[in-house]
Each structure stands twice: as C-alpha cells, then as structure tokens.
Amino acid sequence: MENDYFSHLSSEEKHILKDKGTEAPFSGEYNDFFEAGIFVCRACENPLYESNSKFNSGCGWPSFDEGMKGSIKKNKDLSGGRIRTEICCKKCDGHLGHVFEGEQITAKNTRHCVNSLSIKFIAHNNLEVATFGGGCFWHVGKTFRETKGVCLASVGYMGGNTLNPTYHDICKGNTNHAEVVHLYFNSEIISYSDLLKVFWSNHNPTTLNQQGLDVGTQYRSVIFYQNNTQKEVAETSLFEQKEKWKKEIVTQITSAEKFYRAEEYHQNYLNKNNLGSCGL
C-alpha cells in the first residue's frame, strides 16, 4: 500500500515532492523570506532547516547552508545530462531540490537549493523583535548575533524615505536610512532591557551621525521600538545612560518602520571574512 504522505498535497506540491519537479525561479513564497522559525517538509512535517541557516543566494529559490542533523538524504541525480546531488526529506523521501558546494557564498560553502512548495515555515511563537542602529552594521550584527537569547539577526536598512534601498544608495547619504540589525530574541533568556545594555556598551551614543571613522546619517545611533512597551523601556534606559556619558547622548528613539534586509554579502560579514571587528 502506498504511503499516505503525499495524498493531502495539491497537484503542484505533489509534482515537486513526489514527481521531482521544480517550481519557476523567483516564484516561491519563501524565496525572499527571513523570519525566525523552522522549515519542515510539506509532505510529512519532518523538521529540515533552521531559519538561521537560510540566506539569499540570488538563484531564485530558497537557499540554506545547512540542514538539521539527520533530516536530509542525498542521491546522485543524472537527469538533464549532468551530474547533480539531489536532496530529499529523509523521513518521506520527498524531493526538496539539489545541493551545491564550492560557491563561497557563506562560511559553510554549501547551498541547499530548495523548492518553496517542498517546505512549510513554522514560526517560533515565543520570540520578540528588536531593531538597533549603532554605526557600521557589520559590527552591530556580530555583537548581537553572539548574544545569548538572540535567535536570528539580520543586518539591513530602516528609517529612510526610499523604497528598496541598496547599499550603494545608502552610501550616497541621501536616503535617510540607518544601518541596523533586526533581530528576533527570546525574552525568557534575555530581556529587551538587557539588549539595550548590549546596545549602549558597543557604540558611542554621543557622536552625531558618526561612529569612529564612519561618518553619515546611515551611522546614526537609533533605537527603533516595536511597541509602546519597548518605547518606555528605551526611554528609561536612555535616561539612565545620561549619567554615564560626559557628552550629550544623541541617540534617536523612534517607531520601527519597514526593514529592508541588506545584500547577502553583508550578512555575518566579519565572520565570513575572518575579521574580528570593522575597526570601531
């Protein structure tokens, strides 16, 4: 008797998972999707990928640099007149996509190229969101990524007046976006108040639009609050910080706006390039 893993799927999902098809590039719901949670097999709900392994490869399909331990199996694929490595769900044998190595996009040097229709996202429902700008986002991102309780940290742009800004746009200094780190954190492990302590201790909040040698509005000190509670905690924290600095604190506290994730080469930049810091 045929296993029932695929009977509940739509014809499009079954075409990929069972018949080893492929969705069109840039058409899947998870291609440009970066939230905190896990991705499971759409057929059998076997956990496959943690969200912090996902990256933007530019290929048009969701890309991951590592699967969850024991979740995926590999097969030699000789179709199409070329040799590739197919990846399948280890539990139900559903087709996910293919794996490629040696492209040097991430530190793991591996790309799992996966169809959106093969997977399903399940959000971590116990996480909160926070966004901070404290100068070069390479440094800020590394700081928070290494903070216990932070589950996912992405660098990018917020607070400007241009849609879909690029790093090139930001560097011109006329979009008004700040370089920020946008993170998901577990408040049972680290509180928002403690995240603010990390924020204050890792940059100079008294230099207007400047951190070290980096000068421009994109390097401003800013806290983007997600709700009124965060606003109140941030304002209290800023008041407490005034006694610790001889000069006036110029940090902005403002409501969060749309977050634009930065280009992939900026994500985890310092670790990718074996740099301890960016010179701040």
Active site residue 278: no
Residues 141 and 189 in one domain: yes
For position 3, what pLDDT does the model report?
64
Q: What is the CA angle 255-146-251, rounded to 5?
A: 30
279 in any annotated domain:
no
Asked if 249 and 134 sit in the same domain, the reply is yes
Tell me the C-alpha distance between 106 and 177, whole Å: 26
- On whether residue 278 sits in a domain, the answer given is no
Residue 168 lies in a domain: yes
The pLDDT of residue 170: 94
Measured from the Cβ of residue 115, the count of other Cβ atoms closer than 10 Å reads 27
Dihedral sign, CA of 263, 273, 51, 138?
Answer: negative
Residues 12 and 54 in one domain: yes
Q: Could you list the residue range(s) of the whole structural domain that residue 168 is in?
A: 127-272
83 in the same domain as 58: yes
Indicate if 113 belongs to the active site.
Answer: yes
Whether residue 40 is found in the same domain as residue 112:
yes
Based on the fold, state whether residues 132 and 117 are members of the same structural domain: no
**Number of compact structural domains in the chain:** 2
26 phi-psi bin (left φ>0, alpha ψ -120 to 50, beta other): left
State the catalytic residue, choosing from 41, 92, 113, 278. Answer: 113
Q: Is residue 108 part of a domain?
A: yes
Q: Is residue 277 part of a domain?
A: no
Sign of the dihedral defined by the CA atoms of residues 62, 120, 190, 192, in that order:
positive
CB atoms within 10 A of CB 187: 15
63 and 177 housed in the same domain? no
Same domain, 116 and 133: no
For residue 225, being part of any structural domain is answered with: yes
For 46, phi then psi, to 5°, come to: -70, 125
Per-residue model confidence (pLDDT) at position 1: 33
DSSP string, 31-97: TT---SEEEEETTT--EEEEGGGEE--SSSS-EES-PPTT-EEEEEE-GGGS-EEEEEETTT--EEE
182/51 same-domain check: no
pLDDT for res 135: 93
Per-residue pLDDT of the chain (280 residues; tens, 9 = 90+): 356 899 999 999 999 999 999 999 999 999 999 999 999 999 999 999 999 999 999 999 999 999 999 999 999 998 878 899 999 999 999 999 999 999 989 989 999 999 999 999 999 988 999 999 999 999 999 999 999 999 999 999 999 999 999 999 999 888 999 999 999 999 999 999 999 999 999 999 999 999 988 999 999 999 999 999 999 999 999 999 999 999 999 999 999 999 999 999 999 999 888 776 664 4
Same domain, 231 and 150: yes
Please state, rounded to an integer, the average pLDDT across all residues of the chain. 94
Domain boundary among 70, 91, 123: 123
Is the same domain home to 162 and 110? no
Catalytic residue among 41, 89, 136, 278: 136
